[in-house]
Structure 1
Amino acid sequence: MGMALSAVSTVVSGAVSGASGEAGRRLSERLYDLLSRGRSGGNPGSAAGGSAHPALPGTESEQTAAAQQLLELACRSPEFAREVTEWVREAAWLSPRSVPAVAHAASRPQMLPPTTAAFTDRAEVLAWLTGLLDEEERTPGAPVVAVLTGPGGIGKTAAAVHCATALRERFPDGVLFADLKGASAGTALQPSDVLARFLEPLGVPRALVPGDEARQRDLYRGCTADRRLLVVLDDAHDDAQVVPLLPASPECLVLVTSRYRPGRLVGEHGARPYPLGPLSAEDAMTLVRRVAGRDRPAAPDAVVRAVADGTGGIPLALCTTGAGLAVRHQLTWERVAERLSGRGQGNQGHDREGTAVREEDRAAAADPVRLVQDAAYAELTPGCAAFYRAIAVWPWPTVTVRTAAHAAAVHEDEARGLLEELARVHLLEEVGEERYRFHDLTRAHAHALAEAEDGQARMAAAVRRVAVAHLRFAAGADFRVMPLRWRLGAAYRGLVLPEHRDRADGKRALAELRAERENLAAVVRAAAHHGFDDLVWQLCEALWGLHLLLGFHAQWIDTHLLGVEAAGRHVAEEFGDPRSVGRMWSQLAFGYMGSGRPADAEHALTQARAADRACGHHRGEATAVESLGLLRLKQWEFAAAQACFEEAQEVLRRIGPGEDGWADVPRATALLTHHIGRAQTRQRQFPAAVARLNDALAQFRRLPGGGDAYNAGRVYMSLGDAHLDAGDAEQARVCLDEAVTAMTEAGAGLQLADALEARARCHRLSERRAEEAADLRTAAAHYEADEDHLGLTRVRTRLAELTA
């Protein structure tokens, strides 16, 4: 019963989200058939009767009842027992399971960033953490949770990374690290985003990472339950950001850094806080000397102490000061000491020129970090200073060459040099190849200077340039990922694929989008903040391929909600595109589906249809109705799904020659015909389904440019499913032969593997073991080439059973 219930829960939870791909879809439909046969006394022919139709078991009690029905069906005959057992076994492979730490190929993540060579002291922090781990009276069953607190720039991250590096040998199952970006509520990462990032290195295939946070949290706890892990959560904004990321094992250490004092963590989870203060005078002198380097002439201890005292012993200020000394040989220790001591200013409220000093400037002089940043800024060339201000107009997750060049309106080669210059003086940190990051205090400093020296208008112009550049990049990459889909927005005009395109180009484009995912989301938010509504919804449109193929549902919903609002405002503008409103609602609906929120998805599609109908956009309305039909398919409402697809075809017929969407009508109609055939198959209307699918096949073959081989292959897959469900394994095999050929021609590796796996099932039913093994071996090679570890494991398991 437990195995059956787990299998039902797994398959149902992925039915709406589609996270398990084609294998999950087939298992969902086979579950529908099994439950239908259970209701009809085991007779598949009567499954089309009204009372025999099961509903998708969404609640826990419904899933328990469905599992019980499977067991009852299995008891009726050996044949049913074999079918149910096989289904449960295959469903188990879709379960987003944890990988035990003791497993042969267990993932042992090592996500800790490198420690800095200039790190100084903090020995007391390491001793404190060691004491917590060795404490005899630890709370049983709970991980050790330690929180380093202190103001920005005090060195919490460096101390945490240093201590984690020293302690990592005590945690043989790996180290997880995440920068929670908690300097403000606006920049703080959602727990769901971090959980998705952690689950993959813990061994969960990307396709099986759930879309909703609750299921991600459950899976994360399962993954960590038997492990000895070190989890470093840097720069937490509040307790709510941390609690979902606590592992389940008492053998784990969770090291949190935050500038805010923990409350719930201490009260409910036994966290132990440690306030981090400035370095001692001796340690501060050591650190600034290390950063400044040995190439400089030695300075008297008194002068170095004056420099260290001027920084207040704050590591960020010490490192910035030392970096300036390291790269500017004309800068003397004495000059720096004078600047930091305040002797360059008068004592009566006037500066060196006698100008009255403002109260806020006097307050800044009392802040060692600000004082050091001002000193470092004063040494920049005018061009580098303007660049420093320009790249800080928004809290970009990372500053890339593209971002920097467009923010500052300079050529990319110049941007590269200026980024390196700022990194050398410790005003930026290099975190990857041509990828940089501000400390949030340094960005605040640069942002304040931008406000004072450049003004809001120039800052907004910099944001717009960055947004336009990222829109061009994202639209170009999205076009390479999904070239045949219909799309809106001027960014796609003129885009064409090369005549002899590398088959791997789409995969590379998707990887490029994934690498810039967080920056693209930040660009959407920045554009929305500044009221660039035309760019907001177009950026969301350009993120469609990324989200549809890779998920990241929390970000998807967040950005597309902004897209819906922006599109609504954009319509009212003189050159607004009224079609954008329905487009944003339709895309948002798929984000809700992926998060397992079908009611929200249905509402979004209702809004999409209303918006498209109001502006007479038939192509958009057809998409909204089609998408509702796809949702109905996932919910096992097959008759309702068919009605939606047929209605969508009626909407497409309203598009006349030359009208918006006319060129896409043949392909859209073929897709809908394919959907109708699938819906009819599920209703066991096999003759009608086969006829409809053959019609779809003919439509795809007639498309301009030699037809659509990929979608023709998909139709052959559906024909194979229809014949298999009708009990004709031989005719199914014939169709799957064609599917294999079509997917080979299309270069669709994963879909080819899926077709081979489906054909292997036909061979199994016909007891052709050698042919089954051959197809499974070929499928395994394609799964391995496309890094689909779930498919590879599933196929290898079946191969091992064949040869046992």
Structure 2
Amino acid sequence: MSRVSRVAALHRALASQAGQPVLFGDLVRAVWGDEPPAKPLPALRTLVRRLRQSVDDEIVTDVSGYRLVTRPQGPAQLPADLPDFVGREEELTALAGSDAPVLAITGPPGVGKTALAIRLAHRIRDRFPDGQLHLNLRGFATGPAVTVEQALGRLLRSLGVPPANVPLDRAEQIELYRSKLRGRRVLVVLDNATELSALVPDVEGCGAIVTSRNELPGQVRLDVLTDDEAGALLDRLKIDGPAADRAELIRLCANLPLALRIAGAHLADRHLSDYLAELRGDGRLDALEIEGDAAVRAAFELSYQSLPDDARRLFRLLGVYPGTDFDVTDAAVLGHLSTEDGARQVGVLVRAGLVQQAGDRFQLHDLIRLFASEQVGVDGPAALRRLLSFYLATARAAAELATPAVKRLDPLPLDVEGLVFAAADDARAWLDAKRAVLVAAVQVAPHPFASHLADSLRGYLNYSGYRQELNMVLATGLASARAAGDVVCQTAMLNGRGHLQWMLGAYDEALASFGEAAELTTSDRMRAAVLNNRGLVKRDTGDLVGALEDLGEAVRLWRLHPDERDILAAMLFNLGTVHGARAELRKAIAYFEEAKQLAEANGSVINLATALEDIGIAHRELGEYEEARRHLEAARAGYQEGGAAEGEPNVLFNLAVVAAETGDPEKARTLALRSLETAREFGELRVEAEALVVLEDLQAAVELADRIGYPVARRKAQLKLARHDPGLAEELVRDVRDNGDLLLEARAVLVLAEATGDVALAREALELARSREQGAVVARAEAFLGAQPPANGGSTSS
């Protein structure tokens, strides 16, 4: 059978059970039948690599086999087409017939750019079978516009990139965006853009439709509707009346579709002649001097003035809403209303044509929002404060369930109560649904709301992988706190920023942020939290003395407050890991056991899993592999039970090391591959580097470790590279000793002995390993010494 036939046979075998793992043995039989190769598993891995290069489907490595995950359908984000769309056939024909990669539609506000863009997108969507993306960039709206980085993050997530894998750097985002589009045919619709930017895919086969009020290259600039088109729109809106009255309405609305639709909603139960009299009245419009903006505003004004007083008040207050769309609860909070009254009044605004409805979500056209914000007056600040109070109270309640281990600022006294959640899943669901508006709310919030809302969101945004949004809210919260001279909020924001920088591997920046925060702390608890985090960065960069000092002080300060034992448990974990890195393994286990007892007493599934994981790692270093495996498997089950999938990559890596050191390389490889996949999914770069070491992709491990400033993984890779390179082995021993990496010292000395055949060095490694109870190193050193010939050439005498 040819190689191509074998690849096809493998694909058929996997596709026959798509989504389910197929055992290695079954796949070997499906490909080679009764004549398998001498080394079937390596041959199967080679074939899987070739299949991955030839199909779009994902081939996932499981513990006992492979499974095929079919390529999901592309995103389909186009809004619904307007049922009453009329005219624009000339423009549609020109745009649909163009082969330009960017179709730009420009024109004044209210002229129908978005409606034409959506109609065009639906007309040409068949050319883009891999999906259609849509973004409203809010380039001309009140409130914060969508930044290029935010937009790229949303587009990347829509293309299947896990949130944690979306980089913060714009250039890296752009490259990833284009790489995800290469080989695909995807349409990107960018509404309300101010310019052509990197959001336009510069990728063969992909296209973009862009709307803007500004001039753009290659644009089709819209004018108002012709009289015939405007008349057709009135027909669709079922506006009857004498021809002269219809013509006057069209003229008074300046042939603008937005103004005509507002008028149509207003005329649902009125006579056209009465409406015209009102539109002419009070000098609102001079038909001889009418311009588009004036026409739209006149239509808004007339519809607004005809509202009941309560609905008119709510409409004004919607002008301070910071997000793109809202729900009935948001409206009720803004208006200080019951949910029932809020729903009724929103319904009135929908029927008046001032609010657009899509399911249970509502939004205002940018011009209508601007008009509302101009009417809001003195009631606006109080309404915004109510909304921010509601969001802050609810976000804090959600965060306490979704990320209970995160230390937060003391709560603010608030004017409004928030929602209450029954379970962590409900809390996360609310945060997921409200993420965009919560980020926007931080950007418009006054002090101290900006800092407190950012503080409540930071745990969720970090652990969910929304690090671009996290970076934005922390920067906004810090600027707000600095402007107000609030050192408590500054400390919290700097602590959050340091943690983000640490997660991204920017260790120098993280140490600077934590150092500044430590200088500002005003309480034992906050100082303990900051020192704990700084100690972890020092641990990861090899400064074990500094780490021990910071983490020891953090534990001492937190013990002064016997409540909040979950946080004390987390600090004990961290202190134990430093003792472990110093090869003080029994002392490390003692701290882990204390943390385990606290977790069991508190019923904390996640903290218990963390303690079990750390105990397992310590036993692995001691060479007590059955104990290590038992604790690590229990930890993995705990993370799964607690819904903390982000904890699995490190557990899988350590299980892979146990398998490798107990003579099961195939299982080690399988576990390491799974660790690598999940580490990449959650953006855990340190675990990714460690998994690459187990997989023997040593050069890639060194490059990644150096890029993120994680010397531990680099040294572990060099331990393997140096086995046959005495120069590298000697350099590694110096590096380990210069940096006080006691856990790796015996291993490094033994590698140098193996590379040089130096028995004296092997004895030194043996003594170091015995003093630190590193059982695996002891066994390897003894094996090396046992294989050496006696010094006198092998003769003995009795």
Question: Structure 1 length normalisation: TM-score?
Answer: 0.69
Counterpart among 376, 395, 398 of residue 450 in structure 1: 376
Q: Paired residue for 2:480, among 566, 571, 577? A: 566
Which of structures 1 and 2 has the bigger CA Rg? 2
* 1:251-650 matched pairs, under 5 angstroms: 251-262=205-216, 266=217, 272-291=218-237, 293=238, 298-326=240-268, 329=269, 331-340=270-279, 342=280, 344-345=281-282, 367-433=294-360, 435-451=361-377, 455=378, 458-490=379-411, 505-528=423-446, 533-568=447-482, 579-593=488-502, 597-612=506-521, 615=522, 617-633=523-539, 636-640=540-544, 643-650=546-553
Q: 1:732 aligns with which of 614, 621, 628?
A: 628
Deviation at 1:368, TM superposition (A): 0.7
1:442 offset after TM fit, Å?
Answer: 0.5
Q: What letter corresponds to residue 179 of structure 2 in structure 1? A: G
Count of residue pairs brought into register by the alignment? 625
**Displacement of 1:725 after TM fit?**
5.3
Structure 2 match to 1:671:
570
Deviations 1:103-140 (A, max 9, x none): 9515411111111101112112221223321xxxx6xx
1:560/1:588 contact within 8 Å kept:
yes
**1:170-226 per-position Cα deviation (integer Å, ceiling 9, x unaligned):** 111111111111115952211221222122332323332223322221111111121
Provide, for residues 413-435 of structure 1, a one-character-per-residue CA deviation record: whole Å limited to 9, x for no partner: 111111122112220112442x2
Higher alpha-carbon deviation: 437-446 or 552-561: 552-561
Please give the alpha-carbon distance, in whole angstroms, between the structure 2 residues aligned to 1:553 and 1:538.
Answer: 18
Three-state SS of the structure 2 residue aligned to 1:254 is: strand
Q: Distance in 2 between matches of 1:752 and 1:403?
A: 37
Does residue 111 (structure 1) correspond to residue 77 (structure 2)? The answer is yes
Name the counterpart of 2:740. none
| Pair 1:497–1:565, CA change in 2 (3 A) | closer
Residues 677-716 of structure 1 correspond to what in structure 2 (within 5 A)? 677-681=576-580, 683=581, 685-686=582-583, 688-702=584-598, 705-706=601-602, 708-716=604-612
Distance in 2 between residues matched to 1:481 and 1:111, nearest whole Å: 28
Deviations 1:685-723 (A, max 9, x none): 44x135313422223314584454422322322343344
Residue 158 of structure 2 corresponds to 201
Counterpart CA distance in 1 for 2:164 and 2:57 is: 14
Cα distance change on mapping 1:481 and 1:227 into 2, 3 Å:
same
Spell out, residue by residue over 1:67-91, the C-alpha distance to the aligned partner (whole angstroms, 9 max, x if none).
xxxxxxxxxxxxxxx99xx9xx99x
Output the CA distance in 2 between the equivalents of 1:253 and 1:497: 42
Write the distance in 2 (CA, Å) between the matches of 1:496 and 1:644.
40
Partner of 2:106: 149
Q: 1:771 to 1:146 in 2, by over 3 A?
A: closer
Q: Kindly state the Cα deviation for residue 507 of structure 1 after the two structures are TM-superposed.
A: 2.9
Look up the equivalent residue of 2:148 and give its one-letter code. P
Distance 1:313 1:690, change over 3 A: farther
Unaligned runs of 5+ in 1: 1-81, 139-143, 267-271, 352-356, 573-577
Q: Quote the sequence identity (%).
A: 25
Distance (whole Å) between structure 1 residues aligned to residue 120 and residue 292 of structure 2: 33
For 2:274 and 2:684, the matched residues in 1 are separated by 62
Cα contact 2:149–2:173 (8 A) shared by 1: yes
**CA separation of 1:465/1:229 partners in 2, compared to 1, >3 Å: closer, same or farther?**
same
Paired position in structure 2 for 1:39: none
Distance (whole Å) between structure 2 residues aligned to residue 737 and residue 387 of structure 1:
56
AA paired with 1:625? L
Distance 1:179 1:441 in 2: 14
Which residue in 2 is equivalent to 1:161?
118
Preserved contact between residue 524 and residue 536 of structure 1 (Cα < 8 Å): yes
User: d(CA) in 2 for partners of 1:366 and 1:560?
Assistant: 38
Distance 1:180 1:690, change over 3 A: farther
Q: Report what 2:27 is aligned to.
A: none
What is the CA distance between 1:561 and its match in structure 2?
2.6
Are the structure 2 counterparts of residues 123 and 596 from structure 1 closer, same or farther at C-alpha, using a change threshold of 3 Å? farther
Give the Cα–Cα distance (whole angstroms) in 2 for the partners of residues 196 and 218 of structure 1: 12
Q: Is the 8 A contact 2:262 2:353 kept in 1?
A: yes
User: Which shifted more, 548-557 or 278-287?
Assistant: 548-557
Determine the structure 2 residue equivalent to 1:126. Answer: 92
Tell which deviates more after alignment, 382-391 or 195-204. Answer: 195-204
Pairwise CA distance, 1:557? 2.7
- Measured in 2, the distance between the counterparts of 1:790 and 1:710 equals 18
Displacement of 1:518 in angstroms is 1.9
RMSD between aligned alpha carbons? Answer: 4.1
Q: Indicate the residue corresponding to 2:34 in structure 1.
A: none
Comparing both chains, which one has the higher relative contact order based on Cα–Cα distances under 8 Å and sequence gaps of 6 or more?
A: 1
Contact in 2 for aligned 1:428/1:436 (Cα 8 Å)? yes
For 2:198, what is the secondary structure of its paired residue?
helix
1:745 positional shift: 6.3
Tell me: CA distance 1:583–1:206, structure 2 relative to 1, closer, same or farther (3 Å). Answer: closer
| CA shift digits 1:761-794 (9 cap, x unpaired) | 64465466999999999x99x99xxx99999xx9
Preserved CA contact (<8 Å) 2:165 2:465: no
Q: Which amino acid aligns with 2:158?
A: P
Of residues 167, 181, 197, the one that matches 1:224 is 181
* 1:407 aligned partner, one-letter code: L
Aligned partner (choices 232, 244, 249) of residue 198 of structure 2: 244
Cα contact 2:74–2:131 (8 A) shared by 1: yes
* CA pair 364-474 structure 1, distance change in 2 beyond 3 A: farther
CA distance in 1: counterparts of 2:427 and 2:525, whole angstroms: 27
The 2-side partners of 1:232 and 1:217 are apart by 17
SS of structure 2 residue aligned to 1:543: helix
What CA deviation, in whole Å up to 9, does each residue of 1:613-642 have, x standing for no partner?
Answer: xx3x12111222222233344xx41234x5
Deviations 1:447-488 (A, max 9, x none): 11223xxx3xx2111111111111111111111112343322
Q: CA deviation at 1:235?
A: 0.4
Structure 2: distance between partners of 1:591 and 1:186: 26
Q: Report the residue type matching 1:624 in the other structure.
A: V
Matches within 5 A, 1:750-761: 751=647, 755=651, 758-759=654-655
Residue of structure 2 equivalent to 1:41? none
Structure 2: stretches of 5+ with no match in the other structure: 1-40, 60-67, 696-798
Partners of 2:389 and 2:348 lie apart in 1 by 26
8 A contact 1:690–1:719 mirrored in 2:
no
Query: CA–CA distance in 2 between the matches of 1:366 and 1:482?
Result: 48
Equivalent pair of 2:599/2:607 in contact (CA under 8 Å): no
Please report how far the alpha carbon of residue 645 of structure 1 lies from its aligned counterpart in structure 2 after TM superposition.
4.6
Kept in 2: contact 1:701–1:708 (CA 8 A): no
Residue 20 (structure 1) aligns with? none
Shift of 1:233: 0.6
Distance (whole Å) between structure 1 residues aligned to residue 347 and residue 504 of structure 2: 41
CA distance in structure 2 between the partners assigned to 1:497 and 1:154 by the alignment: 40
